[in-house]
A and B are shown apart, each in its own frame.
Chain A
Amino acid sequence: MQFLSLLLRNRLAAAGGVVLSLVLLLALVTPLLPLANPDVTDTANRFLMPGEQGHWLGTDHLGRDLLARLLHGTRLSLAVGFAAAFFAAFFGAAIGIIAGYFGGRTDNLIMRGVDMLMAFPYILLALAIVAALGPGLTNALIAVAAVNVPFFARNIRGVTVGLAHKEFVDAARLAGLGHTRIILTEILPNVIPVIVIAMSTTIGWMILETAGLSFLGLGSQPPQADLGSMLGEARGALITNPHTSVVPGAMILVIVMSINLLGDGVRDALDPRLRSGALTRPMPATRVERKGTIPAEGEGGAVLNLRQLQTQFHVKNRIYKAVGGVDLKVAPGECLGVIGESGSGKSVTALSVMGLVASPPGVITGGAVYFQGQDLVGAPYERLRALRGDKVAYIFQDPLATLHPLYKVGDQLVEAIRVHHPVSRSEARARAVALLKQVRIPNAESRIDSYPHEMSGGMRQRVGIAMALANDPEVIIADEPTTALDVTVQAQILSLLDDLRRERGLAIIFITHDFGVVAQLCDRVAVMYAGRIVETGPTAAVLRAPAHPYTSRLIACVPELGGGRRRLEAIPGLPPAVDRLEPGCAFAPRCLKASAACREGDIALEGPGARAVRCIHPEAELEEGVA
């Protein structure tokens, strides 16, 4: 049902379906229509124009009625195309099923042959077959069908291989059924849908190919005519009487185009990736649709200051509030940890800063991002681009996916420098070597010419860090940079980042789900849950006396060396879906202390000095933390 409605919603596909049905209907009723005999020549009335003497489409070079010839030709072309598709599917499926079902040497031998056939440009094979059998419509049909057999054989074999070792086939075999019986009753019914789809995608092609052979004079022979041979015969009078060529040519175009439209619609409706609308490309910068007033920056001192930032994902009719009003700031030389479970909105917050949230579906719907006092939300693309990587740099998780797989790491570093600074290649390369040394990559001079896949995970992550440092930025946003690494490498990288911020006065926003990492590196921490900050304060104070129940549960998840037999508590339940947030505290459903008051209205993020919590039953009294 969903398939049909999807197909109908696609207007082009529906139009193709309608046109194709009309042509098919016309072809079916052609013998019943009051048409002139398509083969009766009338040389006195050659090349009549359309409409003359009752010939709606005129006459051809022998004075035959073009309308009658067109309809009969269409009928013949369709019949031959369908027949070719049927035979190709039949023999292709038979070969594919046998190869796939029996496997082993049979499979090997058959598929080798199929590969050989596919090594030919298709028309050579068709021409060779027609040459051997002689020109004629039947032989052209055989040739076109034969040329397409390998395509079917290969597809069907693939499906059959998957089926041949399923439980129900094994069961049938154990029940003592013969091979023929199993193939006919167990395999075939499961393969037929694939055959039908393959047929529907190739049938337009086969109509075109048989028409082509007829056009060359190798298909239907006079006086019998399909669309291709009509066009072939009309070619001699192309310049003097173009209408005799246009009529059959346009018909082929209409048929093939309607089949293609319908086929595309079917494919789109069947392909689940397109169905969810997932295959869209992200735009250069996140879309901004800011409603309401723009919050002011407030007190200064921060290099980066996020105010009431809201980022949503708009997917069809759903709105996912990934970031629901977040305030964060970071001063030069400071390291701010942002912590939370997957899906808490911490990465989206980070990516929103430079407009890097994939859009569609991402939209920044409110708030402001002040960098050195200037709001970046809704800034022109060129301004964002100039800041990206120069003043605000990112380090991403999983450097195998985030580094370009086909560029040498050195070239990627050189590019990062030269995008913002007009230095020569050799100068940039020298700087790249220095950067690699700075992040403690051994043999930097030779490693610079490595591809990412030739490096270890830790080395790749160092390259990612070197790239972030390339232009000596003011702010580095590190999005789980150590999550994919083992513990010793993680420790090295953390101490590296720590040194750098002390040496260079970098501001770092460090995103993680690991309180252990926060404790090691961050001055302050903000805990995120369901797109909002639920607690914030100096790291030591938060760790010593977590106030939000969620924070204390998160801390309880961290194993400690020498921590004895303390039980590691998983947090029961899952974070809420951010497309249907209940009013009140989002953590309430998983919280042991939740009361009715927790589920009513908004709870403010409040507290003295640097500390604040969004909870009406805090675990501990907030003391003003010391930074």
Chain B
Amino acid sequence: MSLLADQLLVLVMLINLVMLGTSRLIFSIRAVAVQGVILGILPGLIHPFSFHLAGITAGIILAKGIVIPYFISNAVRKAQIRREVEPFIGYVPTLLLGAVFTALSFAFAEKLPLAPEHKDLLFVPASIATLLTGFLLLTTRRKAISQVIGYLVMENGIFVFGLLLTEAMPVMVEAGALLDLLVGIFVMGIVINHISREFSSIDTSRLQTLKEE
């Protein structure tokens, strides 16, 4: 089973690279939705069946795979944008950076003092790589929607790390984390709305005009 889980984690990392390399927003959103669905399946693969687990799986697939991507694509449609233009760093350099970070996260995970049963799994490097990818998206992209996606990817990275602990994680914590994410997306949706109304664009670099002199 853990072999299948590792393969899915490799897929997660590949999706990271896809998101770094693409310029089309809708494609990014779909990619993040797929990543969410994979993350939803993962707990079922590594832990024995329980109703708690089934609930978590259903909740995650619903939130990460359907609801949140739906909200974001709605926002994309309303703001009438298709592509991320003029990122701070070009697509190819970010792609290369993403590859470097993924490699580094493997090196870093090697040195972490992990429990022996987690040692051989890909969970830790995949989680760190996804986290760093989220950071990369947040720092290099200009549009607010891309940043929401970056935020989602980052959260996915944290979630992967949390998978190690799913057994010990009570439902309330799980639900709390998901709710947190959902509210975060809502708030960002509202912020995007306001940015686009105020500046008639959703370019976050324009926000610096708000800075006090």
- Chain A bound to chain B: no
Query: Which residues from chain A sit less than 8 Å from chain B, CB to CB?
Result: none
Query: Which residues from chain B sit less than 8 Å from chain A, CB to CB?
Result: none
